[in-house]
Amino acid sequence: MRNIYFLILNFIIVFVFSSCVTKSNVNYFNIESQMEDSTFVNRYYNGPTYEIGDIIDISIQSNSKDVMEQYPYLTNQGIRTNQTYLSGSPIQKGFSIDTTGFIFVPNLGKIKALGKSKHELQEEICSLLSDNIKYPIVEVKLLNFKITILGDVKLPGMYQIPNDRVTLFEGLALAGDLNYTGNRKELKLIRTTNGVQKVFKIDLTKSYHFNTDYYFLKQNDLIFVSTTSARLNKMNFSQYYLPAISSLSLIITFLNLIK
Phi, psi at 220, each rounded to 5°: 75, 15
Model confidence at 211: pLDDT above 60: yes
Single out the residue of 184, 176, 227 nearest to residue 209, CA to CA.
184
* CA-to-CA dists, residue 244 to 122, 239, 251, angstroms: 67, 9, 11
Contacts of 239 (CB under 8 A, 6+ apart): none
Name the residue ranges covered by the structural domains of the chain. 2-21+230-258, 23-45+145-227, 55-142
pLDDT tens track for 19-45 = 455 544 556 665 554 546 666 666 667
| CB-based burial label for 74 (10 Å; 0-12, 13-18, 19+) | buried
Model confidence at 240: pLDDT above 60: no
Which amino acid, 175? A
pLDDT tens track for 146-167 = 999 999 999 999 999 988 889 9
* CA-to-CA dists, residue 15 to 21, 182, 229, 234, angstroms: 12, 19, 12, 9
Work out whether strand 146-151 and strand 102-105 pair parallel, antiparallel, or are unpaired: unpaired
* Dist CA 50 CA 147 (whole Å): 15
Whole-model pTM: value is 0.69
Model confidence at 85: pLDDT above 50: no
Single out the residue of 163, 59, 48, 58 nearest to residue 114, CA to CA.
48
Range from 14-18, 197-201, 244-248 that averages highest in pLDDT:
197-201
CATH 3.40.228.10 holds for 55-142:
no
Q: What CATH number labels 23-45+145-227?
A: 3.10.560.10
